[in-house]
Amino acid sequence: MTSSTASVAKQVMQGLGEVRGWQEDFYRDLHAHPELSHQETRTAGNVGDRLREAGCDVHTNVGGTGVVGIAGNGDGPVVLMRADMDALPVREATGLPYASKESATGPDGTEEPVMHACGHDAHVTCLLGAVSLLAGSRDQWRGTAVAVFQPAEEVGDGARTMVDDGLADVVGTVDVALSQHVLPLPSGQVATRSGPTLSAADSMKITVHGRGAHGSMPQASIDPVVLAAMIVVRLQTVISREIQPGEPAVLTVGSLQAGTKSNVIPDQAVIQLNIRSYHEDTRTAILDAIKRIVTAECEASRSPSPPEFELFDQFPLTENDPGVTERVAGAFASYFGDDASELPLQTASEDFSDIPQALGVPYTYWGIGGIDPALYEKAKAAGRVSQDVPVNHSAKFAPQLQPTLDIGTAAMTVAALAWLGQASGT
């Protein structure tokens, strides 16, 4: 960040006091009224209203409940900023005065409690703050600020839904994409990482076929239970024998189901896997190895028909562009000082990168802290961070309202200005 860009950021951030005036109430209201994936209609309505108030062009119903706000400001770089809007089927146990009492009908038709247990309410509120600050200070920068409010991150298909519904036509040519997530780090901190940052996740359902028979007549059967057992054992060699030591990767057999009764040999078995990886070639190698092993074991067992493979609940790899990350990390170091640090490799997954991948633009995705620093330090001193600090998706995940909202708003604004400010020649 050049010193002139740093001074632009300071100028723009002078509007924070005014933004904070509506932001905290907006956040409390959103936290109290969470909505499940693909059901974010109330949230989308409030987001659209706030974007119009900020002076943005607003596009609604992009991929279901998705909303795009555009603050155009002449020729210059186009910066896409993204927040996810959905909540989780979790019963809130934070005890906050604005805790959720909401419930909703889930995808399987049952009534479920709903909670913003992943902090997406903070992401929405911070992005609205950032785009309001930018739209209110157009004399300080040039280009276009695009704010994308995405549905259904938690189920992994909200970003793709927006892309498939023509997001590229709405946003036009984009130069860079930015996103952030509140994490169990001390509130006040921001953390960036270059290269692979969040894992790619794939779930796979494998159906293998045998020939059913009476349990007393194995010679008449092709036993899918034994076949599936051999597959489960052999799959343990994929990570241990085929992936280079030191390369993080996971292959878990989370479910194995076959048969109903002790004396009946069933005619099929179903195996469900979860796979995590941090490089596309590792991911491909794992998927290829699974198919090779399962197919070969089926042949070894004289399986009467080929195995069936179905991939589901897939999240792409989040691999931050080194150049984009360097520029954003530099802007953060300049603005936040010692509160900007490096983010460790995260085991979680995200679908944000589906957007920049589809648009063909580089991106970076960073973390902001949400935990009361005193609570965090106490847990750290006792060596109990993982036990005592509520993590995302926990019923007790309660980001400290401030400075989390201020920092998330500033981080998104400063990162955007690292691109927009550059083009203005200031």
How many whole angstroms separate alpha carbon 397 and alpha carbon 265? 47
Residue in 67, 71, 118, 12 with CA at minimum distance from that of residue 409? 12
Residue 144 contacts residue 69 (beta carbons within 8 Å) = no
d(CA 14, CA 153): 32
Report the residue number, 62 or 118, with the smaller CB distance to Zn ion. 118
Q: Which is nearer to Zn ion, 43 or 221 (CB)?
A: 43
Per-position b or e across 119-140, b if 16+ CB within 10 A of its CB: bbbbbbbbbbbbbbbbbbbeeb
Q: Which two tokens stand for residue 172?
A: 């036009």
User: Which range touches Zn ion (CB under 5 A), out of 25-33, 92-100, 112-120, 237-245?
Assistant: 112-120
Q: Rounded to the nearest whole angstrom, what is the least distance from the CB of residue 355 to Zn ion in the complex?
A: 15
Which residue stretch of 39-47, 118-126, 188-196, 281-289 sits at the interface with Zn ion (rule: CB under 5 A)?
A: 118-126
Name residue, tokens 């009361």.
372
Closer residue to Zn ion in complex, CB, 352/419: 352
DSSP code for 63: T
Q: How many CB atoms lie within 10 A of CB 8?
A: 23
- CB 388 to Zn ion: min, Å: 20
CB of 76 to Zn ion, least distance (A): 31
Nearer to Zn ion, 36 or 206 (CB): 36
First to last CA, the chain: 12
Among 62, 118, 273, 324, binds Zn ion (CB under 5 A): 118
Cα 128 from chain centroid (whole Å): 18
Q: With CA atoms as reference, report the closest residue to 79 among 180, 176, 179.
A: 176
Q: Which is nearer to Zn ion, 118 or 178 (CB)?
A: 118
Stretch that binds Zn ion, among 115-123, 195-203, 300-308, 325-333 (CB under 5 A): 115-123
The CB-of-199 to Zn ion minimum distance in angstroms stands at 13
Residue 56 Cβ, how far from Zn ion at the closest point, in Å?
24
Q: How far is the CB of 230 from Zn ion (least distance, A)?
A: 36
Of the candidate spans 99-107, 113-121, 182-190, 363-371, the one that interacts with Zn ion by CB under 5 A turns out to be 113-121
Joined tokens for residue 12? 């723009």
DSSP per-residue letters across 162-193: HHHTTHHHHH-S-SEEEEEEEEEEETT-EEE-
Q: What would you measure as the largest C-alpha separation in the chain, in angstroms?
A: 84
- Scanning 96-104, 117-125, 219-227, 360-368 for contacts with Zn ion by CB under 5 A, the matching segment is 117-125
Q: Which is nearer to Zn ion, 9 or 88 (CB)?
A: 88
**E strand or H helix at 146, and its extent?**
strand 143-150
Amino acid found at 69: G
What whole-number distance in Å separates Cα of residue 384 and Cα of residue 394?
Answer: 16
Per the rule left: phi > 0, alpha: psi between -120 and 50, beta: everything else, 195 is left
Q: Which is nearer to Zn ion, 80 or 118 (CB)?
A: 118
CB atoms within 10 A of CB 220: 11
At closest approach, how far in Å is the CB of 198 from Zn ion? 10
Q: Smallest distance from the beta carbon of 237 to Zn ion, in angstroms? A: 32
Question: Where does residue 76 fall: left (phi above 0), alpha (psi -120 to 50 degrees), or beta otherwise?
Answer: left
Number of residues that bind Zn ion (CB under 5 A): 1
**Residues 173-202 contacting Zn ion, CB under 5 A:** none
CA 168, 169, 174, 179 dihedral sign is negative
Nearest-CB residue for Zn ion: 118
Our CB check for Zn ion shows the closer of 11 and 394 to be: 394
Chain center to CA of 396: 19
Q: In this complex, which beta carbon is closest to Zn ion, that of residue 32 or of residue 391?
A: 391
Query: Which residue, 77 or 156, has its beta carbon nearer to Zn ion?
Result: 156
Question: Which tokens hold the place of 164?
Answer: 């498939």
Task: Kindly tell me which of 115 and 294 has the beta carbon lying closer to Zn ion.
Answer: 115
- Minimum distance from CB of 154 to Zn ion (Å)? 5
Compute the least distance from the CB of residue 30 to Zn ion, in Å: 14
Rg for the chain, CA atoms, rounded: 24
As measured in angstroms, the least distance from the Cβ of 162 to Zn ion is 16
Residue numbers of the site for Zn ion (CB under 5 A)?
118
